[in-house]
Amino acid sequence: MSSTINFAIDLGTTNSLIAKANNGSVAIFKNPSGMKVTLPSVVAFRKDRILIGDKAREYVEKDPANVFASFKRKMGTGESYFIPNNGSFKSPIELSTIILQELKNFIFTGESPASVVITIPASFDTIQSNATKEAGYAAGFREVLLLQEPIAASLAFANREGKSGMEGQWLVYDLGGGTFDVALVVIEDDEMKVIDHEGDNFFGGVDFDNAILTSLFIPYLESRFGITDLATKMLSANGKYNKLYYQLLYKAEEAKIGLSSHNHVEIEFDFTDEAGEDHEVYFSISREQFDAIIRERIMASISFIRNLLTRNHLQPSDITEVVLVGGSTYIPLVRGLLAQELGIKVNISIDPTTAVVEGAAWYAGGRPAKAEPLPIEQQPAIDGSHKKKDEKAVAIEVKTAYQANSRDTEEYLAAIIKNAPAGSNYRITRADGGFDSGLKPVAEKISEMLLLLPNSLNIFNMKLFDAQGFALQVSIPDIMIVQGKFSIYGQPLPHDICLEVDDIENNITHLELIFERNAILPIKKSITKILSRTIAKGSDDQLLINVLEGSRYASPQSNLPIGIVSISGKQLQSDLIKGCDVDLTFEISESRDITVTAYISMIDAEFRQVFNPSARTVNVTRLQQETDYLYRLGKRQLEKLLKNEKYEESAALQQAIKELEAIQEKLKTLSEDDVTDTKYQLDDQKRRLSQVIDAAEKGDRIVDLKEEYYNKKENYRLLLLQTGNTALLQRLESMNTEENSWINNCSTQYLRLKISEMDRLTWNIRKQDISYVTSLYMYYSMKPDEAYSNLSEIKLLKTRGDQALARKNPDEILSIVYRMYELLIDKDREESIKGTGLKG
């Protein structure tokens, strides 16, 4: 059991959020559908289902009788809302309960908290506060602590700035989507208190969007296209311009957001004039224009502050700072006017959208929890009827029937539900967040049309809830439907399909995944690769697109080649220059035909070849290269073994090298267009020998390589900890999880690839570190001028470099270091492989 409450909810008028304090940090949970942290505080009772949040908000204007928003304002009143669609009444407490229960669904960790902190406006009286608590209890929390929103926000700011608390008295200016509040907060006797507050329930970000629409867009369109009374035409539900109203409202919001970080924004949209002619409209809005149309409203909010200060006999100079809360405080004019008009320091150190829930979570993280969480099997009952509920849950039976494969965009699901308690609801969601049935009443037989995402596996979850909204403990298997894809063989791809590419740094080739094992046919993918060396027109040199079947973690030589396209210099009208793009498209049909298309934009030429599994393709040139490579690798390994007097282990290797020599001999006399099956036999032999050499090399090298990989990873982790880059640390964590799938069965090539990846990641961090970049520069500048190929340029570079050091700009210094390296005569370069010609 957790000893502190940890969980906190910002139950807002417009939006609500949920967060958890966790060992000195706060995590804000995201809506599994759409991954936003905010849940609109809106509930819709549609004909046969209940919608909560974003979907409910869509119907606020269209179905106002059955859709409820802003009910927080009515908390603590005796008012109840009548719902025409089901003939029942709902109180603001019941609607808030639905929002709280929905927020609990955001907790992806599976925890079911017993205690929670819920924030309330500073204006809430005792009755309103108790009503909020009641909603919390009804939502299944057994301990509910209330915290005033301005206090919560202040805690978030205090924590961010590392202070134990704020100083003196300060203002919390909260301008959200639809409401405005300002509170005067002070610390008295070690306790943070809201002394006074002011607010406007009908002022927020939406007003600014509307201002852009009515003061800028509409007058412009009216004058340019000679339209009269466009506003009325836009707002009429059946009017010609009703669609335009929603388009422009969205564009207005985009413009508002853009103007928070840019001095002007360009808005473009399509417009059809009264004569039916289409126009592309480009509209530029400057920050000055925007400021001019919203200034009055913001000044009105500042008057609220002046009233508040006068009422409390305070001068602006008595206020230490004003902290900003709510998404609309991103607007520069809000920040500017507050500072300018009141002369008070404006604190913007925290994300204003999440400040309240973040602060509440900090508070929750320091408050001991008094309610013990129930064992899972007893959740979520709160009314002493655990046993009874359990018995009911155990007895519930759910049987589903549906077609597992579908060519349609939606599929019919039928289910029989037996013994569910009266008033229960069910809810079906698609695992990727694209479908949510909402809450629908349970009947013995239910049916639902499930919306399918094309050409993929669609996984749906079905859950049952009792009349109070608590999940019933019943195990229902996932509903899995494959849309649009059938395999003639009735099976997915048995192995990975990979492309062989060059790893120039390590002088080897390695595999790059194209299609993952178990992918369902037919399948298609396009990628763009870069040519790793120049291929001269008329030469024998080849660009090889080698498609292999087998594990992506293995070496290219041990996988089965299933298709190879070779583009030789003889086929070319002009040279292919190193660095040019090669667009590759791979397709595998239901009958396993493989089509490889290569398009080279530089010469505007397309090469296409279809392979089918019954006709194996072996490229003799490639086979020669691979055999030579294996031979060199084997010889090197043999020398090592003999040096260490490991004669027993070297026997198999010696034999393999002999056989490779024999293959090399045979290949010398084999032409590319040989019609016998010799090349297939030789390819089989080569693959078998590759495994022998792989095994010998792997045993020796793998431990060293693994050690190198782990060391580099640890250094990278330490570097991230040092720089405090939490996002990259999280990504490294997910890389660790993925690591388990390959670390014990990968080839040395693959491991080298992962080592290079660690080098690259580390370099991305280091290149921003001025002291590291300076030391690099110093290394090259200390070398004598004679070490470089161009004396005059290197002198110039050194002068420029010394000046750049003073400016401390890592990018500038690095550009000089790169050039110095280019000019270095004696670079440590090894013999390079021939490879495929495709850069990995």
Partner 1 sequence: MPQHLWIKMANLVFELEKKLSTGQPSTGIIRNIDRMKSVLEEAGLLLLNPLGEPYNEVRTDLEASITGEAAGNLYVLDVIKPIVYTQQEGSRSLLQKGVVIVGNK
Q: Rule CB under 8 A: which residues touch partner 1?
A: 33-35, 44, 46, 49, 51, 54-55, 58-59, 61-63, 237-238, 242-243, 245-247, 249-250, 409, 429, 431-438, 451, 453, 456, 516, 518, 525-528, 583, 599, 727, 738
Structure tokens at 621: 């040139």
CB of 99 to partner 1, least distance (A): 17
CB of 85 to partner 1, least distance (A): 13
CB of 545 to partner 1, least distance (A): 16
CB of 725 to partner 1, least distance (A): 12
The residue whose two tokens read 């005033």 is 148
Q: Are 436 and 427 in contact (CB under 8 A)?
A: yes
Concatenating the DSSP letter of every residue in 244-299 gives HHHHHHHHHHHHHHHTTTSSEEEEEEEEE-TTS-EEEEEEEEEHHHHHHHHHHHHH
CB of 436 to partner 1, least distance (A): 4
| In 53-195, alpha helices (H) | 54-58, 92-104, 126-138, 149-160
CB of 433 to partner 1, least distance (A): 4
333 vs 598, beta carbon nearer partner 1: 598
As beta bridge partners, residue 346 has: 322
Q: Are 40 and 69 in contact (CB under 8 A)?
A: yes
Those residues whose C-beta lies under 8 Å from the C-beta of residue 118, and which sit 6 or more positions away, are 8, 9, 11, 100, 132, 133, 136, 144, 145, 146, 147, 360
3-state secondary structure of 310: helix
Q: Whose CA is closest to 513, among 491, 486, 533, 495?
A: 495
Q: Cα separation of 787 and 283, whole Å?
A: 57
146 vs 519, beta carbon nearer partner 1: 519
Q: Cα separation of 618 and 547, whole Å?
A: 11
112 vs 725, beta carbon nearer partner 1: 725
Q: Are 503 and 840 in contact (CB under 8 A)?
A: yes
CB of 500 to partner 1, least distance (A): 18
Q: Whose CA is closest to 499, among 545, 459, 431?
A: 545
44 vs 344, beta carbon nearer partner 1: 44
405 vs 518, beta carbon nearer partner 1: 518
CB of 594 to partner 1, least distance (A): 18
544 vs 582, beta carbon nearer partner 1: 582
Q: Whose CA is closest to 409, among 486, 459, 479, 484?
A: 484
Q: Are 198 and 305 in contact (CB under 8 A)?
A: yes
Residue type present at position 13: T
389 in the Ramachandran plot: left (φ > 0), alpha (ψ -120 to 50) or beta? alpha
15 vs 132, beta carbon nearer partner 1: 15
Structure tokens at 782: 């200390």
129 vs 456, beta carbon nearer partner 1: 456
54 vs 769, beta carbon nearer partner 1: 54
181 vs 436, beta carbon nearer partner 1: 436
The angle at the Cα of 536, spanning 531 to 537, to the nearest 5 degrees, equals 120
Residue type present at position 343: G
C-alpha torsion 244→250→256→259, nearest 10: -90
CB of 78 to partner 1, least distance (A): 31
CB of 825 to partner 1, least distance (A): 36
62 vs 306, beta carbon nearer partner 1: 62
CB of 58 to partner 1, least distance (A): 5
3-state secondary structure of 585: strand
409 vs 775, beta carbon nearer partner 1: 409
Q: Kind and range of the H or E element at 798?
A: helix 791-807
CB of 155 to partner 1, least distance (A): 28
